[in-house]
Amino acid sequence: MGGFAEYELVDGDDGGNVLVLSGPYLVSTIGAVERDLRALDGEIRKVDLSGVSEIDTVGAWVACSISSDFGAEIVGANERAERLIGALKGMSSEEEISAPRLPMLERVPDAIGQKVYNARSGAYGVVGFLGALLLSVGSLIRHPQRFRWLALVRQLELVGVSALPIIGLMSFLIGVVIAQQGAVQLAQFGAETLTVNLVGRLTLRELGVLMTAIMVAGRSGSAFAAQIGTMRLTEEVDAMQTIGISPMEALVVPRIMAAILMMPLLGFYSAAVAIIGGAVVGQFMLDIPFWTFLMRIQDVVPIHDLWVGLLKAPVFGLIVALAGCYHGMQVKGNSEDVGLRTTMAVVTGIFAVIVIDAFFAVFFTEVGWG
């Protein structure tokens, strides 16, 4: 018994050709002969399966389709082949395997149109979500006993406390980089001592809060979207509603509150650690003693820089958490959507933070806190 599917065309006694198949006709062996079998031409009267040692549905399928292509009769099939061929009768179909796709020329405008349309409904959705959030905050103020303190504390821990190590490390390194790079540039004017101003003002006013917002978007905004999205998929959110718990109050408000409360603290912490990083560079590279660097900060950084940072922080927290919760609540369909929405939560969160930061920069300069 050979290990290959083989075939042979012989002249039949009644004039027509007989296609004699032999060897195993299985899914594992069919690949080698199928193309050649289909390419056969001429007239075939019979397909002889008596030499076939093994057959499965794929072999039977090929035999069937050849016999119907040539109008040939199948002979010599053993019991098993007979049964398989019988089972496969009438199963041919022309249905496309892949889902229908538009041609390229239509697909691109279609995708752009969808995007534009969705952007409009997206903006509408965010505003609606913000409104719903304010409503539930309002009703929580009227019924404070419904407020979920435990959930809030848990979220404060997740958003704030557990972010301390990574934000600390990041801020320290940012402080080091600003001080070191700033000193190299300022040295050209002989003004290395201004490095203190650079590090202090930049981190307190801008970078501390901005980098923290980005980190919180990556850590917590994505987590909000993924958690709430998964809860939507598993119908937990629906279950809450039927029990009479508002998902807005139970899931969204504690997360957004946690982000709003934690962002100023994290932003200030980040700025402080960055200044320490700058002071370390001062100590080792610029001959400014560590404590002197810190003292100078008090003199050169106006207090309104701190206020600028602290005022921006809760707004950034709101934006990041809102993006996370909004996208989480929008999840529907399948697990792929959770991933998609999580990505969108992070991207829109960071983008919106940077846009708002630009507005803040102009605003605070205009009001004289330059």
Partner 1 sequence: MAQDETGRNLERHERFRGEYPIVVEGLTNRFGDQVVHEDLDLKVRRGEILGVVGGSGTGKSVLMRSIIGLQVPAEGDIHVFGRSVLDTDPEEDDGIRNRWGVLFQGGALFSTLTVGENVEVPLKQFYPNIDPRLRHEIARYKTILSGLPEEAVSKYPSELSGGMKKRAGLARALALDPELLFLDEPTAGLDPIGAAAFDNLTRELKETLGLTVFLITHDLDTLHEICDRVAVLADRKVIAVDTVPNLMELDHPWIQEYFNGPRGRAALTAQALDELRRHMDKPPAANVVKALDKANSKKDKA
Nearer to partner 1, 32 or 108 (CB): 32
Segment interacting with partner 1, rule: CB under 8 A, options 56-64, 110-118, 187-195, 267-275: 56-64
**355 contacts partner 1 (rule: CB under 8 A):** no
Rounded least distance, CB 186 to partner 1, Å: 53
6 touches partner 1 by CB under 8 A: yes
CB of 223 to partner 1, least distance (A): 23
Q: How far apart are CA 271 and CA 174, in angstroms?
A: 10
Quote the DSSP letter at residue 33. Answer: T
Binding-site member from 18, 30, 274, 325 for partner 1 (CB under 8 A): 30
236: number of Cβ within 10 Å: 15
Residues numbered 57 to 96 that lie near partner 1 (CB under 8 A) are 57-58, 61-62, 65, 80, 83-84, 86-88, 91-93, 95-96
Residue 237: partners with Cβ closer than 8 Å, 6 or more residues away = 228, 231, 247, 251, 329
Selected binder of partner 1 within 50, 335, 343, 365 (CB under 8 A): 335
- Residue whose entry in the numeric block shows the structure tokens 């062996």: 29
Q: Give which of 26, 126, 155, 16 is closest to 75, Cα–Cα.
A: 16
- Site residues for partner 1, 182-221, by CB under 8 A, read none
Residue among 328, 308, 342 nearest 210 (CA) = 308
Which amino acid, residue 323? Answer: A
Decide: 305 and 201 in contact? Cβ < 8 Å. yes
Smallest distance from partner 1 to CB 195, Å: 52
The nearest distance, CB 23 to partner 1, in angstroms, is 8
Size of the site for partner 1 (CB under 8 A): 46
* Tokens 């602290």 belong to residue: 310
Write the CA distances from 357 to 137, 228, 307, 309, 341, integer angstroms: 26, 27, 14, 10, 24
When asked if residue 49 is in the footprint of partner 1 (CB under 8 A), the reply is no
Residues that bind partner 1 (CB under 8 A): 3-9, 24, 26-36, 38, 54, 56-58, 61-62, 65, 80, 83-84, 86-88, 91-93, 95-100, 333-336
